[in-house]
Structure 1
Amino acid sequence: MTSARDERLYAWENRVIAPLDRSVVTFNHMQGIVDHVWTAEGLRWPPRVRPRKATKVTLATGSRLAIEAPASLPTWILLHEIAHAMTSTAEGSGAGHGPDFVGIYVRLLVRHCRLDQEMLAETLAAAAIKWNPEATPSFLDPN
């Protein structure tokens, strides 16, 4: 079941992100992008990209260990799934679409899609979506 928070995020993505990033990545290139983003964030052992048939409900999924994707995806959706991978653990717990997820997702959009952070912050606020600009991957030891 999709929560109101999820619906707000998806609507924001469709209204703000999708028109600004029309690039598409094919399945054969996804692992390279995941590896690059993971390394750019200073992380080791990225999740593996596995094939998945898209459904009407879910296009792709992301967790700490795997990102499942169809034959091609918009780049911003792949970054969305990478943010899920960064905010979940191998045990499956994660931040959902909460402030830490959105904070990491915004950082990835700024770094890898070259979107303006101030504009993203303003549009998130207008959509009543909370985000944590200081969010770090959930599996990192804070000490």
Structure 2
Amino acid sequence: MSRGDRAARLLYAWEDREVAPRDTAAVPFARLQALVDHVWAAEGLRFPPRVRPLPRQARGTVARASRLAIEAPPALPSWVLLHELAHAMTSTAEGASAGHGPVFVGMYLGLLARHARMDPEALAASLRADGIPFDPTARPVFLG
């Protein structure tokens, strides 16, 4: 999760305002893989990404993910882990990614509702108010 393109910046501002205040729990690195495995299985998926340490040189990055791996610091807010899981679910092993587009945001919204128990209608309304497009029918891209 780096602070890159315009869609990402809009989404990060929305997260800082709407998501972070509702979920202040931090997960220690030693527990991240168990949480990744749990969410992945709860979503009906097999073969979850592996959690590994975020390289020290990734100074401007909070965390990052691909279909195969999630790189994280010594502790990570649980909502950031869900953000990274949404990236893993909207990426392929070959490297194709939905970025921070509507499929990603829709997947992330569903994860926040199901695993952080946030109100999906309130989140959707705030996304619309901020002009952030999302696909409410989003599902993992590698399922076809």
Instruction: Identify whether the pair has TM-score above 0.5, normalized to the shorter chain.
Output: yes
The CA deviation at 1:51 is: 0.7
How do residues 37-116 of structure 1 correspond to structure 2 at under 5 angstroms?
A: 37-53=39-55, 55-116=58-119
Q: Which amino acid aligns with 1:68?
A: E
The CA deviation at 1:102 is: 0.5
Describe the SS at the equivalent of 2:8: helix
**TM-score, normalisation: structure 1:** 0.95
The residue number in structure 2 matching 1:21 is 23
Q: Which amino acid aligns with 2:110?
A: R
Describe the SS at the equivalent of 1:68: strand
The CA deviation at 1:53 is: 4.0
1:10 to 12, 16, 20: 12
| RMSD of equivalent CA atoms | 1.2
The CA deviation at 1:3 is: 1.8
Describe the SS at the equivalent of 1:139: helix
Once residues 93 and 120 of structure 2 are traced to their aligned partners in structure 1, the CA distance between those partners, rounded to angstroms, is 29
- Cα 1:136/1:109, change in 2 over 3 Å: same
CA offsets 1:59-111 (integer angstroms, 9 cap, x no match): 10011000000100000000000000000000111100000000110010001
- Structure 1 residue runs of 5 or longer lacking an equivalent are none
Describe the SS at the equivalent of 2:76: strand
Q: Which amino acid aligns with 1:32?
A: A
Sequence identity (%):
57
The CA deviation at 1:42 is: 0.4
Q: Which amino acid aligns with 1:57?
A: G
**TM-score, normalisation: structure 2:** 0.94
Once residues 56 and 71 of structure 1 are traced to their aligned partners in structure 2, the CA distance between those partners, rounded to angstroms, is 13
Once residues 24 and 50 of structure 1 are traced to their aligned partners in structure 2, the CA distance between those partners, rounded to angstroms, is 17
